[in-house]
A and B are shown apart, each in its own frame.
Chain A
Amino acid sequence: MKIVVCIKQVPDTKGGVKFNPDGTLDRAAMLAIMNPDDKAGLEAALRLKDQYGAEVTVLTMGLPKAADVLREAIAMGADKGILVTDRVLGGADTWATSTTIAGAIRNLEYDLIITGRQAIDGDTAQVGPQIAEHLGIPVISYAQDIKVEGNKVIVQRQYDDRYHILESQMPCLITALSELNEPRYMTPGGIFDACAAEITTWGRADLKDVEDCNLGLKGSPTKIAKASDKVRKGAGEKIVPESPEDAVAYIVGKFKEKHII
């Protein structure tokens, strides 16, 4: 089995987010880490490798410094790392990013692609499903459990209050949640091997079947007007109405209260 895991180097938001005066993230002031959901995705791939035997390739797009997360992944047990880096790819939104990554993955053989659900620096959760769309393969998002049986995967997809069990033929793409598992540590020997390992570096010219108009800043339909620290979403309100009529009355009441109707 061949597994490609897409990972991203992100600023560690644990100690709070720091911004530049222009509203963009001050990445230099924050520790760079492997995105937690991606790390869970990598761990899932490494467990499949332990269980069934697999070749795990980690792929990232970013500045040359992003090779650090590839080395971390190799030190954890991944077999090889590919860094996609090129000035023309900079400033990419999710569309341009997924186009780029799909263009890189087209060069690879794969049965399974695993991405994190979302990155803690953007929180969009769009790149994984978009890659699947570009490649024309099925996607199962929010995986909290992954099993492989023959040439299909069986995945528990997390919902707020339940989970769905989905089955898909491979190749397919899965987006992983950090709750999926407890990622392993690197090993000291793995670190030394990872630092000696060669990281494959690809640029624009290595991307397959992509058009320049879909890449980098100019290929990005999203324009960021303003960035601010994350606002925590409230816990919400749970209502158990006596009857369907009461439920309707309650919902209509809420709509009126919010001036929706």
Chain B
Amino acid sequence: MDFTLSKEHEMARQLFKDFAENEVKPLAQEVDEEERFPRETVEKMAKYGFMGIPVPKEYGGQGCDILTYAMCVEELSKVCGTTGVIVSAHTSLCIDPILTYGTEEQKQKYLPDLASGRKIGAFGLTEPGAGTDAQGQQTKAVLDGDEWVLNGSKCFITNGKEADIYIVIAVTGKVEKRGRMQKEISAFIVEKGTPGFTFGTKEKKMGIRGSSTYELIFTDCRIPKENLLGAKGKGFPIAMHTLDGGRIGIAAQALGIAEGALETTIAYVQERKQFGRSIAQFQNTQFQLADMATKVEAAKMLVYKAARKKDEYKTNPKISYSVEAAMAKLYAAEVAMEVTTKAVQLHGGYGYIREYDVERMMRDAKITEIYEGTSEVQRMVISASLLK
């Protein structure tokens, strides 16, 4: 087993690190405070190809692997969780399903704009009554001539109002499965500006506050027949497979947040003095840091392993990376929460003040245990693979 990173990955990490330090970090606090989508950062990321890292060059992407993409989300999230999730949702939840399930025409039509960052992507699965239980979908799509007519709403959609291209999951009928009638679910590509497609209220969140989280509303929204993504009735496996990939992105975001909090804390405890010496000299601090660093390293191994497995999938679509992605997300998210909480504790009163980065990091970390499948769902995925 080889744990060394290739030259490419080392250079890519340095690139993402430099970019994050110079371009993202200076805005992190302001973006959080003002709940402002960092459009200027997205434009810069687009310029340098960050919005299309795992997209083949033939579709205008960078032609890199999933590990490189995960490292990008990780480094961005070290300094700003908001920026990390913008790239993650765009890449994993919109680009990836088009790349995996799209027709050649759909790929040619949508991928160059998405990969270059001229357009931003989003994904709509969750509904007020259907989060973890995807069968609870209420949004309907009915074929009327050459068009699908969408009615319903999606909530908590990342990149909500800022996106241009949306992958939307909707019910297209009923099918009998094991003697029971079940909803037939399909996936669609919906473009912003389509009549009947509007936005609800902006969510005011605890963390990742610069990320644009909106409700999507479809009222007799007519989209071309050819915007069906994948086969009719395959929406559920498409959504689940998309989330498998998305979890690697969120796991990388969680890992980045944890690493950012650890680095910030290491610097802080060496400066902060109590009882005449730096608090880094107290054994409690040292032991806390040791535990934090060990868990971060373990999370990193899981995240990189899942990314590697998804890379393998590209050449061998028979393999699954579902369990690896679930383990990576479960562990990295819980480590992010634990490490940021300890980071705040080690900062003492200052850690509770918004001027200090760890306060934001702790709020940002919480969502990684919830979205793209809660930690409980990850445990379901993992245990199902053990008990099959």
Q: Could you tell me which A residues sit within 8 Å of B by CB distance?
A: 71-72, 75, 184-192, 194-195
Contact = CB atoms under 8 A, between A and B. Distances in A.
A188 B64 CA distance: 7
A195 B11 CA distance: 9
A187 B64 CA distance: 10
Best-buried of A188, A190, A194 by chain B (most CB within 10 Å): A188
Contacts of B64: 188-189, 191-192
A185 B15 contact: yes
B62 A192 contact: yes
A187 B11 CA distance: 10
A233 to B, nearest CB: 28
Contacts of A194: 11
A101 to B, nearest CB: 25
B371 interface: no
Interface of B: 6-8, 11-12, 15, 18-19, 48-50, 53, 57, 61-64, 68, 72
B18 A188 contact: no
A189 B11 contact: no
A187 B117 CA distance: 14
Contact of B49 (A71, A72, A188): A188
B332 to A, nearest CB: 22
A189 B15 contact: no
A26 B53 CA distance: 36
Nearest to A186: B15
A191 B212 CA distance: 31
Contacts of A190: 49
26 contacts: A71-B7, A185-B18, A185-B48, A186-B48, A187-B49, A187-B62, A188-B12, A188-B15, A188-B48, A188-B49, A188-B53, A188-B68, A188-B72, A189-B49, A189-B57, A189-B63, A189-B64, A190-B49, A191-B11, A191-B12, A191-B64, A192-B8, A192-B63, A192-B68, A194-B11, A195-B7
Contacts of B49: 187-190
Nearest to B9: A191
Classify the secondary structure of A's interface with B: helix
B50 A188 contact: yes
B199 to A, nearest CB: 32
Contacts of A75: 11, 15
B11 A71 contact: yes
Best-buried of B7, B11, B61 by chain A (most CB within 10 Å): B11
A190 B53 CA distance: 11
Contacts of B48: 184-188
A187 B12 CA distance: 8
B62 A189 contact: yes
A14 to B, nearest CB: 12
Nearest to B13: A191
Nearest to A184: B48
Contacts of A72: 11
A193 to B, nearest CB: 8
Contact of A191 (B15, B18, B19, B57): B15
Given A188-B12, A192-B62, A195-B8, 20 more contacts: A71-B7, A72-B11, A184-B48, A185-B19, A185-B48, A186-B15, A187-B48, A187-B49, A188-B49, A189-B49, A189-B61, A189-B62, A189-B64, A191-B8, A191-B11, A191-B12, A191-B15, A192-B8, A192-B63, A192-B68
A99 B28 CA distance: 49
A185 B6 CA distance: 20
Contacts of A191: 8, 11-12, 15, 64
B314 to A, nearest CB: 14
Nearest to A185: B48
B36 to A, nearest CB: 23
Contacts of B62: 187-189, 192
Best-buried of B50, B62, B68, B72 by chain A (most CB within 10 Å): B62
Best-buried of A72, A185, A190 by chain B (most CB within 10 Å): A185
A188 B83 CA distance: 17
Smallest CB-CB A-B distances: 4 pairs: A189-B62, A187-B49, A188-B62, A195-B8
A15 B282 CA distance: 26
A75 B19 CA distance: 15
Contacts of A71: 7, 11
Nearest to A196: B8
A186 B57 CA distance: 16
A189 B53 CA distance: 7
A163 B61 CA distance: 42
A224 B68 CA distance: 44
Contacts of B19: 185
Contacts of A188: 12, 15, 48-50, 53, 62, 64, 68, 72
